[in-house]
Structure 1
Amino acid sequence: MELRQLQYFVKVAKKQHMTQAAEELRVAQSAVSRQIRHLEEELGVRLFVQKGRNLQLTPAGSLFLSRAEHILTDLERAVGEVREFLDPEAGEIRVGFPHSVSVSILPAFISCFKKEHPNVKFRLKQGTYTSLIRDVTEGEIDLAIISPCPETHELVKGEVMLTEELLAVLPPNHALAGCKSIRLEQLKEEPFVMFGEQYSLRPIVMNACLKAGFVPKIEFEGDETDTIRGLVAAGMGVSLLPELALRYSTHIEPCVVKVDPKVTRTVGIIRRRDEKLPPVTELFGRFLMEFQPSADPGRPMDRLDGA
């Protein structure tokens, strides 16, 4: 069995069409057909059946596809690790992140890291809490910045980078806008602007409100921090947002007030459990753990050693 046969088989399985697969592989269709036929003869089973103009995997083909993909992924990773070993300053770092991190600390991470390692490339993928864990476990990315950082998980290992405070976000003309600090229960009669149910920040806010003795009345939902900030600033309700996500300015600003009792969330990095990272990614992981929030909103992150 040849590596080329596996590559052709996976491509045909994905495209469900011999001609389209051949075009993407930049080889003749006859070459793809021949390699698929040889593979079926070696396995002693049909991998595809014709369905209209497309090809459909047989049950045996579906079983073989999952194994073939793992083989090719492992091989690609092995080749990448060898190349990075030879030149660790020119590797690629595959990292995922949620939106609340992308607008606050991720640009600082990458900018500072690139100053020290200018030839390293980044492949970035934004996602929700659930999708980031899935992407790490399935090998789509090697690291993910995530919140909250999972304390225990069967497939990923998490390390807490920082714990940040959630602050009350109020319309500028709100009666409590001038306060330095408020009790969370003071917002029990207010309409809330909340992240959607697929976002990990929502249960943190919900649980904090329940502990304060009320169920928040959700009037609006948003998918991004800027959306929620804008709706609150426009007087549509109140919200709780992470401190780091409030360190930059937009054209329309709500009022930000501390909350008592304090509501916090952890921000950490996750990787596949019991699996060695590529050297350059391991280097970036250690780099992330050396950062902490700066007191100066204009400089969002500083090195712990003050460098």
Structure 2
Amino acid sequence: MELRHLTYFEAVARLGGFTRAAESLHVAQSAVSAQVRALEAELGAELFTRTTRRVALTEAGELFLARCRRVLEELDGARRDQADLAAVLSGRVVLAATAVVGAFDLPGALSRFHARYPGVLLSLRSGLIAALLAELDAGTVDLVIGPVHADLPNRFATHRIAREQVVLIAPPGHRLAHGGPLAVTELRDESFVCLPAGSGLRAILDDAARTAGFEPRVPFETHTPASIRELVAAGLGVALVARTVAASPGPAVSVRQLQPAPQHPDIAVMHHRDHRLSAAARACRRQLIELE
């Protein structure tokens, strides 16, 4: 049995006649008829009833058609896979990530992707989530890894890859430097270090403080989680940060759990629903998701 047997048979069944099938396939009608007869001979069953006016599937033809289409669909899928692979091998991916990615091992993920697809030109940008989503809107990045805040517009598709927690960091020797879980109400008189208004971390701080009945004082604003830690270590205030920021290498700070702990958004890989991802970007996204 040859592939063209299946192709010709499916075309006759779909188009309802040998003439139409031949025109669709750009071959002579006699070639279509000959291939279908050869297929019937091999199967030992008539697949069509033929009259001068119409061609119709027999019961055997109906049964065979379902399997035939599954085979052709699988072959089409295999062709697409090969085309995608060729595109991946020579593609380009621009990935952007916030400083906070939870327990997700981004360097390891990028290393594994590069080892699997060494021909892909892979680049990484970093920044705050609002700026990175603007780049995703503009089409200047393919994928973004970062926190999924509640107000994320629906035009961004997400897939969670890690969870995160919020903790308090304080300077060593601070009155809050040691102890068990800490209530947010105990932070009422503290000065905070945080990201600017409009950032996700600032929203977490504002919401937690207001729930506890006070407005947070933020005399020190900075633009990266790492610099928050540096300012706290220098004794300029306390801060709410992601646990991974508190645990990362850097100046010494004391870490306290909060009770109840403010909710931190899940970390996800995001892409724009209206922008078609390249084959290379789709392969990168698959690998990031598989590592969840």
TM-score, normalised via structure 2 length = 0.64
Letter in 2 for 1:259: L
Partners of 1:169 and 1:254 within 8 A in 2: yes
What is the root-mean-square deviation of aligned Cα atoms in Å?
2.6
Aligned-residue offset at 1:146:
2.4
Q: Give the fraction of aligned pairs with identical amino acids, expressed as a percent.
A: 25
Q: Please identify, of 83-92 and 241-250, the stretch whose mean Cα deviation from structure 2 is larger.
A: 83-92
The amino acid of 1:290's aligned partner reads E
Structure 1 unaligned regions, length at least 5 = 1-81, 293-307
Give the match for residue 223 of structure 1: 223
**Separation in structure 1 between the aligned mates of residue 209 and residue 148 of structure 2, nearest angstrom:** 17
Counterpart of 1:262? Answer: 261
Q: Secondary structure at the match of 2:132?
A: helix
SS at match of 2:164: strand
Rounded to whole Å, the distance in 1 between the matches of 2:256 and 2:112 is 30
The CA distance in 2 between the partners of 1:217 and 1:176, in whole Å, is 17
SS at match of 2:258: strand
Q: How many residues align?
A: 210
Which residue is equivalent to 1:111?
A: 111
The verdict on how the C-alpha distance between 1:200 and 1:83 changes in structure 2, with shifts beyond 3 A counting, is: farther
For residues 216 and 193 of structure 2, the distance between their equivalents in structure 1, rounded to whole angstroms, comes to: 9
Distance (Å, rounded) in 2 between the aligned partners of 1:109 and 1:173: 38
Shift of 1:83: 8.5
Shift in alpha-carbon separation, 1:138–1:104, aligned structure 2, 3 A:
same
3-state SS, counterpart of residue 179 of structure 1: coil
Match of residue 86 from structure 1: 86
**C-alpha distance in 1 between matches for 2:203 and 2:283:** 33
CA distance in 1, matches of 2:223, 2:152: 27
Distance in 2 separating the partners of 1:112 and 1:183: 41
* 1:180 to partner: Cα distance: 3.1
Counterpart position of 1:214: 214
SS in structure 2 of the partner of residue 99 of structure 1: coil
* Residue 138 of structure 1 pairs with residue 138 of structure 2: yes
The residue type paired with residue 170 of structure 2 is L
Q: Corresponding residue for 1:163?
A: 163
Which residue identity lines up with residue 111 of structure 2 in the other structure?
Answer: S
> How far did 1:87 drift?
4.3
Amino acid at match of 2:176: L
Change (3 A) 1:238 1:126: same
Partners in 1 of 2:232 and 2:146 — Cα distance?
Answer: 25
Q: Deviations over 1:35-87 (max 9, x none)?
A: xxxxxxxxxxxxxxxxxxxxxxxxxxxxxxxxxxxxxxxxxxxxxxx996524
Question: Within the alignment, does 1:174 sit opposite 2:174 as a pair?
Answer: yes
Question: Would you say the 8 A contact 1:169–1:232 is kept in 2?
Answer: yes
Assess if the C-alpha contact under 8 Å between 1:84 and 1:91 holds in 2.
no
Q: Deviations over 1:249-288 (max 9, x none)?
A: 12x2111111111122221122111444212211211222
**What runs of 5+ residues in structure 2 fail to find an aligned partner?**
1-81
1:273 aligns with 2:273: yes
- Is contact 1:104–1:244 with CA below 8 Å preserved after alignment? no
* Residues 195-206 of structure 1: pairs in structure 2 closer than 5 A: 195-206=195-206
Q: Partners in 1 of 2:137 and 2:226 — Cα distance?
A: 30
The answer to whether the 8 A contact 2:88-2:117 is kept is no
SS in 1 for 2:186: helix
Aligned counterparts of 1:158 and 1:184: Cα–Cα separation in 2: 30
One-letter identity of the residue aligned with 1:142: D
- Given residue 183 of structure 2, which amino acid in structure 1 is its aligned partner? R
SS in structure 2 at match of 1:181: coil
Counterpart for residue 295 of structure 1: none
Look at both structures and tell me which one has the larger radius of gyration over its CA atoms.
2
